[in-house]
Structure 1
């Protein structure tokens, strides 16, 4: 019986000392990502792609507008039901093309953003992990959403991570 009592007491003391030794830090991870030069390059690339996609979309919108103007100009002159139906179908098709293009462009842009930002995020995480290990932190909380309400200034890992990455 004494053995179980000593074993239990030993476990509690070991757990208590492990908890006492754990160190928690925080960092605004989004701010760190935004300060990295790689992020600016990625954002510039995304902006160029978005501009190109928007220009292509404007071409589709111009085509749609042209078809609408044609239909309006024929207006009351059009007595042919078949021609009216053909023009109406062309307009619906142009509307569908615009909607489909918008969806595709949005997905393409999101996919490209993931591809460009993944290595940046990995680099930031690896550096943060290295700094946390060097400084003895066992838990790091992302403060991007201001989740950390009270903390010691010394537990903010941003300065140390920026230093290790060579950021100002």
Structure 2
């Protein structure tokens, strides 16, 4: 009888340890994947055209400023005080417009880049999720960011309640998290 119990215990231990070792972990460089996608190349082409358009607008303001500055310098001696002040004010306003447009252009560039990049990132993430699930991976680490690119939530245990307990954090009954769908 003791032999049967020992044999059963040994089989359970071996099966338990092999299932532990059977867990699959993967790694991926998401940045490398995204950069190599054809959509990213198209996005870069669009961004270059958008940047050129913004740069051309900045250049137009700069040309207008330089033209008016040269005009003021050339005719300064013949201008009345009020006209000279008006032209100086115009130049200051152009400088302000240039600085403002430059700032707005940077923001617009960043916004457009984020808009174009978001669906590319989503497509890459969907492919990573699909391959990870199909391959039976427990977790896939993203080497480009040092974070998890995928994890099988059903196989992981949420340790937050124990950590909160250890830290003495108590959730108020009304503030409890909504139930998962």
State if a TM-score over 0.5 links the two structures: yes
User: Shift in Å at residue 18 of structure 1?
Assistant: 8.5
User: Shift in Å at residue 22 of structure 1?
Assistant: 4.5
Q: Which digits, 9 at most, give the CA deviation of each residue in 1:37-76, with x for residues without a partner? A: 0111111111111111111111111001011111211234
Find the counterpart in structure 2 of residue 56 from structure 1: 57
Matches within 5 A, 1:98-137: 98-137=98-137
The SS at the match of 2:137 is coil
Q: Distance between the aligned counterparts of 1:96 and 1:18, measured in 2?
A: 67
Query: Which fold has the larger relative contact order, with Cα–Cα distance below 8 Å and residues 6 or more apart in sequence?
Result: 1
Check 1:94–1:26 CA distance in 2 against 1; reply closer, same or farther (3 A cut): same
Please tell me whether the aligned partners of residues 34 and 124 of structure 2 are also in contact (alpha carbons under 8 angstroms).
Answer: yes
Find the counterpart in structure 1 of residue 165 from structure 2: none
| 2:25 equivalent to 1:24 | yes
Check 1:51–1:22 CA distance in 2 against 1; reply closer, same or farther (3 A cut): same
Please tell me whether the aligned partners of residues 76 and 84 of structure 2 are also in contact (alpha carbons under 8 angstroms).
Answer: no
User: Shift in Å at residue 17 of structure 1?
Assistant: 9.0
Structure 1: gaps of 5 or more residues? 1-12, 149-168
The SS at the match of 1:87 is helix
Structure 2: gaps of 5 or more residues? 1-12, 148-181
The alignment's C-alpha RMSD in Å is: 2.5
User: Shift in Å at residue 99 of structure 1?
Assistant: 0.9
Which one has the bigger helix percentage?
Answer: 1
Which one has the bigger strand percentage?
Answer: 2
Find the counterpart in structure 1 of residue 35 from structure 2: 34
Q: TM-score, normalised by structure 1?
A: 0.70
Q: Distance between the aligned counterparts of 1:38 and 1:144, measured in 2?
A: 19
Matches within 5 A, 1:56-75: 56-75=57-76
Find the counterpart in structure 1 of residue 44 from structure 2: 43
**Matched residues, number:** 133
User: Shift in Å at residue 21 of structure 1?
Assistant: 5.6
Q: Distance between the aligned counterparts of 1:19 and 1:115, measured in 2?
A: 42
| 2:94 equivalent to 1:94 | yes
Q: TM-score, normalised by structure 2?
A: 0.65
